[in-house]
Copies of this chain bind each other. A is one copy, B any other.
Amino acid sequence: MTRPAPKTFTLGEIANQLDARLVGDADLVVRGLATLKDAGSGQVAFLANRAYLKDLPGTAASAVLLHPQHGEACPVSRLELDNPYLGYAALSRLFDPLARRDPAGVHPSASVDPSAVLGKRVEVGPQAVIEAGVTLGDDVVIGPGSVVGADSQIGSGSRLYANVTVYHGVVIGQRAILHSGCVIGADGFGFAHDGSRWQKIAQLGGVVLGDDVEVGSCSSIDRGALGDTLIGDDVKIDSQVQIAHNVQIGDHSALAGCVGIAGSTRVGRHCMLGGGVGLSGHLTICDGVQVTGMSLVTNSIHEPGVYSSGTGAMKNAQWRKNAVRFKQLDELAKRLSRLEKQRLDSPGP
């Protein structure tokens, strides 16, 4: 694949696409997007966070996307929108070079089983493998070296980057984005101990991903033991994430990098798990829960809100003393209670 030449737009076209109010030259041509600080001539910048308001007066951008309240302070052409961050998202997609490539078809070095069913405009990259019984919807892109296992289905408009692995019998919805190195449908971690060694439990379930799911690089979503692992619509999963067998993730939830979720746990809708968060197995996390980075959750959560565990970093010398005291914490609490009791027992002055 070659990156196509950068696309250009007039400010008028952009205002139209983003449904923004343009104050400035509708015929001005721009060819890219940058921060207020880095943008130069021919580029659009955006102001979506007050912290960057200081960069507005000196920007060299040709135009700025911003909230009407900052319009007066803008020294160049501007595109006014109520939610400039959403506007930035839309603009970034306009300038995305991958969004407008012509499909390259099936590369001669790819291995596609004759029983696979390919939709219209499907692209299968070099060295990719499509096994028997696979169904690929319209406009699906399978990157170089990716493998789609037997009988799996991938919905229309989905893209697998290079070296993705989808096991057999996996169902993926429409417009999925799977990044390199991610693995969908490997065996869950299931063994029965016979008193001396482990006996494997064959993992007979599958994985079902809803529509508009994104999975980051090197993340794992394991297949179910019995029944399926279920990822809802519009779920966004970052890199290095582990989702164990029979987990369920509700629609619109987002999991940051290095999250690990143990078997059969159910995460609700609109949840957000920070980087490195761990959830024990067989829990229920209700809708609207946020968990901050590197927290460990060992009990179900039934009330929406923000949850945390752990302790923040401090200088090692200070930490050593406090960490030792942590090991004495129960004893310290008992000593405190004893003192309080003595106080109460002692006669008044």
Q: Are A204 and B33 neighbours in the complex by a CB distance under 8 Å?
A: yes
Verify if A250 is at the interface (C-beta below 8 Å from B). Answer: no
Nearest residue, chain B, Cβ from A309: B313
Nearest residue, chain B, Cβ from A144: B129
Copies of the protein in its oligomer: 3
Q: Are A179 and B169 neighbours in the complex by a CB distance under 8 Å?
A: no
Please, how many angstroms separate the alpha-carbon atoms of A191 and B177 in the complex?
13
Please, how many angstroms separate the alpha-carbon atoms of A314 and B339 in the complex?
27
Q: Are B179 and A181 neighbours in the complex by a CB distance under 8 Å?
A: no
Please, how many angstroms separate the alpha-carbon atoms of A311 and B336 in the complex?
21
Nearest residue, chain B, Cβ from A128: B127
A138, chain B: closest CB distance, angstroms: 20
Nearest residue, chain B, Cβ from A112: B126
Verify if A93 is at the interface (C-beta below 8 Å from B). Answer: yes
Q: Are A179 and B187 neighbours in the complex by a CB distance under 8 Å?
A: yes
Q: Pick the interface stretch among A9-17, A52-60, A71-79, A288-296.
A: A288-296
Please, how many angstroms separate the alpha-carbon atoms of A258 and B296 in the complex?
13
Verify if A35 is at the interface (C-beta below 8 Å from B). Answer: yes
Please, how many angstroms separate the alpha-carbon atoms of A222 and B218 in the complex?
11
A243, chain B: closest CB distance, angstroms: 9
Please, how many angstroms separate the alpha-carbon atoms of A225 and B226 in the complex?
40
- Binary contact readout A61-97 vs B (1 if CB under 8 angstroms, 0 otherwise): 0000000000000000000000101101110110110
Nearest residue, chain B, Cβ from A196: B252
Interface size class of A (residues with CB under 8 A): 35 or more
Q: Are B168 and A89 neighbours in the complex by a CB distance under 8 Å?
A: no
Given A275-B260, A336-B336, the answer on whether A151 and B189 have CB atoms closer than 8 Å is no
Given A89-B200, A183-B179, A339-B336, the answer on whether A165 and B169 have CB atoms closer than 8 Å is no
Q: Are B238 and A257 neighbours in the complex by a CB distance under 8 Å?
A: no
Given A217-B222, A339-B340, the answer on whether A293 and B278 have CB atoms closer than 8 Å is yes
Q: Are A226 and B34 neighbours in the complex by a CB distance under 8 Å?
A: yes
Q: Which residues of B contact A239 (CB under 8 A)?
A: 183, 186, 189, 220, 222, 242, 244
Given A96-B202, A244-B257, the answer on whether A126 and B126 have CB atoms closer than 8 Å is no
A207, chain B: closest CB distance, angstroms: 12
Q: Are B144 and A147 neighbours in the complex by a CB distance under 8 Å?
A: yes
Q: Are B3 and A169 neighbours in the complex by a CB distance under 8 Å?
A: yes
Q: Are B328 and A333 neighbours in the complex by a CB distance under 8 Å?
A: yes
17 cross-chain CB contacts under 8 A: A34-B227, A83-B192, A86-B194, A125-B129, A127-B128, A145-B147, A162-B167, A165-B180, A181-B186, A262-B275, A276-B278, A278-B294, A299-B312, A308-B314, A322-B327, A332-B332, A332-B336
| Residues in A lying within 8 Å of B, measured CB to CB | 1-3, 32-35, 38, 83, 85-86, 88-90, 92-93, 95-96, 98-99, 107, 109, 111, 113, 115, 125-129, 131-133, 143-145, 147, 149-151, 161-163, 165, 167-169, 177, 179-183, 186-187, 189-192, 194, 196-204, 212, 214, 216-220, 222, 225-227, 234, 236, 238-242, 244, 252, 254, 256-258, 260, 262, 275-276, 278, 280, 291-299, 301, 305-330, 332-333, 335-336, 339-340, 342-343, 346-347, 349
